[in-house]
Chains A and B, each alone.
Chain A
């Protein structure tokens, strides 16, 4: 059952290669519709009848290769199919959409779904490795100088980190003789010396932390997302869906080891550092894609914080924030794609007057920005409310508000494009901009951001089966805080950020390739040291 979701996209991808000289886009579009419908059916099945488990080839559980869909993974699979469908409609009229792109696109979808469903640690390694290759090829689709360089950095850094994963899995297999996550989780408490698990756990966590781009392993992310020549759907996929695979693995693996080693405090601190570094660098960027890439780092840090708080509200708040982040980040990346198409630049200071020139995209951008900053009634506000609700520690609350202030800062920088005198070059002015499918797709995602906020708690219950009551008074208080932060951010932006050299200098801070690998090793060693002290 579940395997159809993985096989069908691959099969269509292979068939589509046969259409080398003709148009295969309709085939891809209809297969995507089918996959989305089937995923919706499976989602319904999981919600009504509980977890679906598929053992391949009829071997008993723990020995077979297993596909496992519970409410968490199925929601993410469903979200993946929805986003891929939406992005396909966005890309449909793009000049880059040929059968080669279609092949890579569908393969990536199948691999990502496989990552969400698989419980076999070695299978996950294979899926990670192959998806890395596919993403690297997608990044350098146009083969210009910068994109090949970026693709190489991304490929090598990710492959090396998957090597860490493989090594860690080897240690686990030596200890337990199992490769299945759930099988290991069952027997993990029988280990006599918890210190014998430090090495495999540290190896595996290094890989996952690199995948979700936690500080100091986040340097590859702006390189991969910010490639100038990549089509706009690619950073949208990477940020909306591919990023989520790392977080999903983080949830699963920390749950697997939680009986033996508890690392919540460590990841709480790392999450805060990641988030703060992310927004500081985001504010410093002039390039729209880089700004959004750093903001992804910041949001991922926030999600990690929520997951590490150790409370129910924090955990489900983070789950919902993953969902919300996929939506609003897709909106923003797609609107950047539309803008650079209509303005011929991606420099934030050269684009003005979006509201007048492209009202549809302007509205979509506004919705996306309100979502990311957690404005009242938008989905970001629900998830951020839940994350703050998950902790009663004063310092944590303060830092969460600081992060929100940072989010507002770069959002205001982003929003400054909406108004002012239209700077669109005359040759790119398009009278037909209202009947543009990509723009309306972007707006649809923007409206989803609003809808999933208006009916936040209903959505939460519908998706995960977790009911959460929002206290109206507290929500109102949070909304007031939001308004205050907004004013503060606006003042800060006007007085300090705009046109300062300091931020421009920060923006160019970047690790070289060797430094990225060194950062991986340092992270690995420090996590070993921390666990050694802990046990």
Chain B
């Protein structure tokens, strides 16, 4: 057993998830929130693509059966999840840029203005 054996994809994934969560809990800057969110999601992606991994398995391509196939489902799921993650990050950044350019605000605040316009 090598000394760094416990650093598997799953463990690192879980760690990344909670590091991202820590950032979300403590950082008041909106950009940092978006970055923490991305870190959290990367943790989940890493966790997924390493679950049910067996040593020496081959990709499920072709008919050859000399070794066990890797489970392709998690990777397929993660492609979808990554695309969604990028979309959400892009929308978040767009909102933030709009907000900063128009109103010059970069931090989460507590003040609320309920009077507003329109109906």
Contacts and interface: CB of A to CB of B under 8 A. Distances in A.
Interface of A: 122, 125-126, 129-130, 133, 136-137, 140, 142-149, 151-153, 155-156, 159-160, 163, 166-167, 170, 173-174, 177, 179, 223, 226-229, 232, 287, 290, 337, 340-341, 344, 346, 510, 512-514, 517-518, 521
Contact of B116 (A125, A144, A521): A144
A417 B21 CA distance: 45
Nearest to A514: B25
Interface residues of B, number: 47
A155 B91 contact: yes
Contact of B99 (A137, A149, A290): A149
B2 interface: no
Contacts of B52: 173-174, 177
Given A156-B34, A167-B17, A228-B117, 11 more contacts: A129-B84, A145-B99, A148-B95, A148-B103, A149-B99, A152-B92, A155-B92, A228-B114, A229-B117, A287-B114, A517-B25
Nearest to B14: A167
A155 B88 contact: yes
B57 interface: no
A160 B112 contact: no
Contacts of B112: 146, 223, 510
9 contacts: A133-B91, A147-B116, A152-B30, A155-B92, A159-B92, A167-B44, A177-B71, A228-B116, A512-B108
Interface of B: 17, 21, 24-28, 30, 33-34, 37, 40-41, 44, 47-48, 51-52, 71, 73-74, 77, 80-81, 84, 87-88, 91-92, 95-96, 98-99, 102-103, 105, 108-110, 112-119
B95 A173 contact: no
B4 to A, nearest CB: 22
A514 B71 CA distance: 38
Contacts of A152: 30, 92, 95-96, 99
A170 B96 contact: no
Given A160-B40, A514-B27, A514-B108, A148 B88 contact: no
Contacts of A153: 108
Contact of B51 (A122, A173, A337): A173
A166 B34 CA distance: 18
B114 A290 contact: yes
Contact of B73 (A173, A227, A346): A173
